[in-house]
Structure 1
């Protein structure tokens, strides 16, 4: 699973997911990409599951770039614990995704294979996504 090697603070505030993505919203590496249409959080497990789906569909041909990284700790209190007594311990890592953010980029395969791989990967994610190509973004 993806996780940061070192963080400044063990626990962070929950925060708000407002507005559209400005960074990471244009194709930089590949010819096809998976773009988020709404905001949400992607866990490290979801990022890995979608990556495996893309690689299997492309039969390990071409290249895949992961454009998100889970850098925010998600805390959770133990089961059957009373309220209070502080914040729970870090449980997993998540990436905050805003609308317009590119999640994965693909190159080196045909268009139909890339679109199929990215659409199958979007089924693994907790928010709606669409496949964009270099032609549609220019």
Structure 2
């Protein structure tokens, strides 16, 4: 599982509600020639990111390369089932990455354009948000 090596605090507060504005950082393709861009704002769990990585690597094989542009550094807590109110904050359930509209999630480099599109499209089915495939010159 993807998780941070070291945290300042084990259990963070939730923070502000999801901001729907388009961001200005992390919106350009830097490493590859194609990318998967988010169109919605959401939290993406570490298991969902792992599933996307596995799917992209399965489709690409050795014919391409992949870069991960998001990382699940936020802790999400949950109280165990059947526990009454109170008693403090629940245990860490999973880690998540905050994604805003316009963020590049994954980048792919492949000489075969159709293979790169297929890899990103199959990865987009594993995510809980709407995404768009973009190329380096049009991002």
Shorter-chain TM-score category? over 0.9
Aligned match of 2:7? 7
Distance in 1 (CA, whole Å) between partners of 2:35 and 2:71 is 16
Instruction: Give yes or no for contact 1:58–1:109 (8 Å, CA) kept in 2.
Output: no
Per-residue CA shift, 1:78-121, capped at 9, x if unaligned? 10011122110111110000000000000133111111110110
The offset of 1:133, in angstroms, is 0.3
Rounded Cα–Cα distance in structure 2 between residues aligned with 1:130 and 1:96: 17
SS at match of 1:35: strand
Secondary structure in 2 matching 1:136: coil
Rounded to whole Å, the distance in 1 between the matches of 2:78 and 2:33 is 39
Kindly indicate whether residue 44 of structure 2 is the aligned counterpart of residue 17 of structure 1. Answer: no
Instruction: Measure the CA separation in 2 of the matches of 1:55 and 1:35.
Output: 18
What's the CA shift for 1:136?
1.6
Moved over 3 A (4+): none
Partner of 1:122: 124
Give the drift of 1:5.
Answer: 0.6
CA RMSD between the two structures? 1.0
**Unmatched segments (≥5 aa) in structure 1:** none
